[in-house]
Amino acid sequence: MKIALFTETYIPSINGVVTHVKALKSGLEKLGHDVLIVCASPGAKHHHVENGVLYCPGVNFKKLYNYGVAAPKSHVRYKYIKKFDPDIIHIHTEFGVGYSGTIAAKLLNIPLIYTMHTMYDDYLYYVAPKKFIKIAKKTSHAYAKILAEKATCLTGPSKKVEEFFKSCGVQKPVYVVPNPVEIDKFKPHCISEEKRAMIRKKLGILADELAVCFCGRLGREKNIDTLLKYWSEVVEGDRKCKLLVFGDGPSRKELEKYSDRLKINDTVNFLGKISHDNLPPYYASCDLYITASLSDTNSISMLEAMATGLPVVHIYDELNKGQVIDGYNGFIYKNSAQMKKIIYNYKKISNDEKNEISKNSRRSVLKYGDITLAKNLLNIYKQAREIYSEPDSVKRKLQLNYQKIKNKIKKQ
C-alpha cells in the first residue's frame, strides 16, 4: 500500500506530532509499505522530494510552536502527490498542508484519514486576543467539523479527541490510537549509574533528595503555574524534593518569576530545552515524572519518561483515564494536598516497591512501538478503503465495523 502522510512540521523539528509521524512512517515501511511525508519547510525555495519527504515552501508561524505553514493550494505539490499515486492520504494537521491533503484526496478519489493531535481550545490564546476567544473557538470548531466531514475515518490519541469532535457536532466514530514511544531509545538499563550520578551532580541533586521532572513546551496550556503552586506546598515541609523542568516556551520567564514569588527557586530548576537524543539519561536521573496538564491527549513526553522507568504523578483527567493507573505505574492527584501526600509517601516506601512501580511503568508502554502504531493504522486504512468503495453504505459500515476495529487496536 502507498500512504501519504501530511504534517505541517517534520524532522529536524521535534514535537509530539513529528514523533508520531516519524514512528508511523518507520512502522509502515518495516511492514513493506511505501510512505511519502508531505510537510511545510520554511527554508525551501521550491517543492522537492528528498529521502521520501516532499518539502513544501512555507513560512514560520511564530505564535503557534513556531510551526512552518505552507499554502493550502499548490499545483506543483499536487503533481508530486499524483506521481506518488497514494492509496491513502492521512493528514496530521489542520493547517495549510493538511488542507491540501483533503484537496488531493478528493482529486485522486481516494480515502482520507484525519488524525487530530491537538486540543485547539487550549491553544487559542496564541492566535486570538482574550475578547475574541469565544469567536475563535466557534470558528475552530466549525473548521474542525468541515475537515472531519471530508474524512473517511477519524482518529486521535485519546478519548479527548472523540469528545472534542462531538462538541463540534461530528457524528462519525473516532478510533483511539495511542501515541508511539521509541522503546529502544529510552531503555533504562542502557544508562549507566555513573551517567546518572554525573547528571545528578551537575544539577545539584544530592543522593538523599527526590528528583521530580516535567518535560514539555512552557506554555499556558501545560498548566505549569498550577504545578508550581502545588509544588510550593509540597516543599513547605521538605526542601529535599527537587523539581526539574525540561523545555522552553513563551511562558518561561513568567514561570520563573512566579517560582521566585513562591520562594521555591531553591527547589525548582528550569533547564531549558534538552535535545531529544539527550533526554533518556536526564529522565533516568530522576525519580518521578509529574504533570498538571489537562491539554494533552496522550503525552509523548510522559510516555518516554515511562519507557525510562519513571512512575508518573498525574493530575486527575477523566478523558485520559487508564494511561496512568494509580498505585501501579504512577499516582493520580486532584489537589495540592494529594500531590503532597503522594510525594511524601513515595519517599518512604522501600526500594523494592519503587523498583516494582518503575518496572510497571515501563511495561505499560512496551506495546506502543512503531510496528504496533502502523498495524493499528493499517486496520483503519483497510476499513477506510472498504467504506470508500461503497459510499451508499458508509454509515451502515461504520456502525457495523467500528467496534471490530476498536477491538483489533486494543489487542495490538
Q: What is the pTM of this model?
A: 0.90
CA distances from 325 to 175, 322, 333, 361, 364 (A): 22, 6, 11, 9, 9
Burial of 273 (0-12, 13-18, 19+ CB in 10 A): middle
Q: pLDDT tens, 182-219? A: 999 999 988 888 999 999 999 999 999 999 999 999 99
Which residue has better confidence, 13 or 53? 53
Rounded mean pLDDT, 337-348: 97
Q: Answer yes or no: is pLDDT of 366 > 80.
A: yes
Query: Domain 2-180+369-411 carries which CATH code?
Result: 3.40.50.2000
Distance, CA of 75 to CA of 84 (rounded, Å)? 14
Rounded mean pLDDT, 165-181: 93
* pLDDT the model gives residue 329: 98
3-state DSSP assignment of residue 64:
coil
**Among 228, 274, 284, residue whose Cα is nearest residue 254:** 228
* pLDDT the model gives residue 58: 86
Matching CATH topology for 2-180+369-411 and 188-365?
yes
Distance, CA of 291 to CA of 302 (rounded, Å)? 8
Q: pLDDT tens, 27-42? A: 999 999 999 999 999 8
- Domain residue ranges in the chain: 2-180+369-411, 188-365
Q: What is the dihedral of CA 65, 119, 311, 338, to 10 degrees?
A: 110
Q: Answer yes or no: is pLDDT of 174 > 70.
A: yes
In CATH, which superfamily holds the domain spanning 188-365? Glycogen Phosphorylase B; (3.40.50.2000)
Q: pLDDT tens, 309-326? A: 999 999 999 999 999 999
Distance, CA of 57 to CA of 308 (rounded, Å)? 37
- Beta strand pairing call for 34-41 and 53-61: parallel
**Among 126, 155, 183, 171, residue whose Cα is nearest residue 297:** 155
